[in-house]
Amino acid sequence: MRILALIAAIAGLAACSGSVDDGVIDVAFIAPEGEVATSGLRLDYAGQHLRAAQAQGLVKLGADGSVLPAIAERWIVTDDGSSYIFRIREFDLTDGSRLTAQAVRDNLARTVRRLDGTSLGLDLAKIREIRAMTGRVIEIRLSSPMPDLLQLLAQPELGLVLGESPTGPMTLRAQDEESDARVFDAMPPEARGLPLQPGWDDEIASVHVDVVDAMAATKGFADGRYELVLGGKLAYLPLADTGPLSRGTIRLDAALGLFGLDVNRRTGFLGTPENREALAMAIDRANLLQAFNIGGWIATTRIVAPGLPGDDGSIGERWSDLSIADRRATASARVARWRSANGSSPSVTIGLPEGPGSDLLFDALARDFATIGVAAIRADARADADLVQRDRIARYGAARWFLNQFNCKVSPRVCSEDVDYLVGLAVDARDLAEEASYLSEAEASLTAANIYIPLGAPIRWSLVRGDITGFLENRWNVHPLFPLTRAPI
């Protein structure tokens, strides 16, 4: 009843007029308190957004997810795609010193070195050299072409941190240590290396950020406390209304990434690739999220999202020539053989995050597994479960991001050294066609291991008041704070 009452409140609010403009945009991130750190190289969703607000990189991501100039005012790419040359803005830091290409180069090179051993570090593996060419020009040389380099350079972890001098585009004015509430102001253009613009701040707003749990965020939105709620996942979706009255209030990103189940323990029934494949075959992906009342969700049996640039077409959806009934018949036969050999029916434990959406997802998975004779049990501790949900948004749209998520350095329990070797060959490939061939071979090898069960695209949602500007859906689930200020540049 509590959830139903909250849904009704949100739906009713959607039909009302916008809130009074007090010059402040109140934003809530759905996240635990521990996910707001803005230092270090392993940032969570809220921390990434707060870091991006205060520390620009060479480039940045805009409200629509596109790459925009930041510290670099412009750039060129050489014809062979192996070199990116950036011109740095004329930039005076808050201590009065001038930002130089050498300082940018040193900061960026140090960050790339520190990222070694992380998934983002693997994504940046093609960087061969970073050098300052003149006082305002730096060059990044690659071992082979990488069309997605700019997208990676825009990641918050690569924002420049130069002592006590903020690079913007915002500054943190105040922070409540008890509640984690933060107030951000837009930096004036001249403090960001842009021309002076008189009257620039006549109508801009400050951004007030809270980090709260899903119930507090959705209730706060319904009560008018928040104008924007970010960080919504499938686990919390039932706390928001997806009915017709909420149209324009609930916004879903057509996100790109991984949403599925890691095979966390390869013992018992899950000890062979064929039995692990049986579970994947049993899932009716077309109807898996029917209880959530969302349209347009893209289900897939592939590890790498279909249709990405560079996809050579050699990998397709699995079992496309079989109906769901045929797939389940094949899977049931494997279960029957295991039951006959072991004298009992198999069962698996599933580790999902807490939340009403996870309850619905578990029910759907349990029903599908039951059709082939496998019992599903909700795990008390996710780390100890046989199957554990993997839910991540892609940093860029290429097969290498997906495969790097299963690298043995970053995912030792769900990985393959053979796949890592093939991805390594792709990094060193002479051209994009050769790289695509290695990546397809790597995906095929990882698929055959059946150590990950793909379900489809990740679900990400936000609650957005009708009068908010500067918010746009995008496939990266990136919603920067700066555009919310209504600042012209």
What is the reported pLDDT for 309? 85
Coil/strand/helix, residue 339: helix
What is the reported pLDDT for 176? 66
* Structural domains for the chain: 1-54+168-253+459-489 (3.40.190.10), 56-158 (3.90.76.10), 257-456 (3.10.105.10)
Residues 58 and 242: beta-carbon distance below 8 Å: no
Extract the tokens encoding 297.
């969700």
Extract the tokens encoding 34.
């521990």
Residue among 2, 487, 6 at smallest CA distance from 229: 6
**Strand spans (E) along 284-425:** 347-351, 375-378, 387-393
How many of the other CB atoms lie within 10 Å of CB of 64? 14
Give pLDDT tens digits along the chain (489 positions).
Answer: 333 333 334 344 443 434 456 789 999 999 987 777 777 788 999 999 999 999 999 999 999 999 999 999 999 999 999 999 999 998 877 777 888 999 999 999 999 999 999 999 999 999 999 999 989 999 999 999 999 999 999 999 999 987 777 788 999 987 766 666 899 999 998 888 888 888 888 889 999 999 999 999 999 999 999 999 999 999 999 998 655 545 558 999 999 999 999 999 999 999 999 999 999 999 999 999 999 988 889 999 999 999 898 788 899 999 999 999 999 999 999 999 999 999 999 999 999 999 999 999 999 999 999 999 999 999 987 778 999 999 999 999 999 999 999 999 999 999 999 999 999 999 999 888 999 999 999 999 999 999 999 999 999 999 999 889 999 999 999 999 999 999 887
pLDDT tens-digit map of 253-273:
999 999 999 999 999 999 999
Q: What is the pTM of this model?
A: 0.92
Instruction: Name 240's Cβ contacts closer than 8 Å, sequence gap at least 6.
Output: 7, 10, 218, 232, 246, 250, 461, 463
What is the reported pLDDT for 442? 97
Handedness of CA 461, 443, 405, 271 (dihedral sign): positive
What is the reported pLDDT for 272? 97
What is the reported pLDDT for 4? 35
What is the reported pLDDT for 192? 85
CA-CA distances (angstroms) from residue 387 to 49, 187, 352, 469?
30, 46, 9, 41
Residue among 304, 293, 309 at smallest CA distance from 252: 293
Residues 191 and 171: beta-carbon distance below 8 Å: no
Tell me the β-bridge partners of 460.
233, 253
Extract the tokens encoding 363.
């029910």
Kindly state the helix (H) or strand (E) to which residue 217 belongs, with its residue range: helix 214-222
pLDDT tens-digit map of 4-28:
333 334 344 443 434 456 789 999 9
What is the reported pLDDT for 121? 96
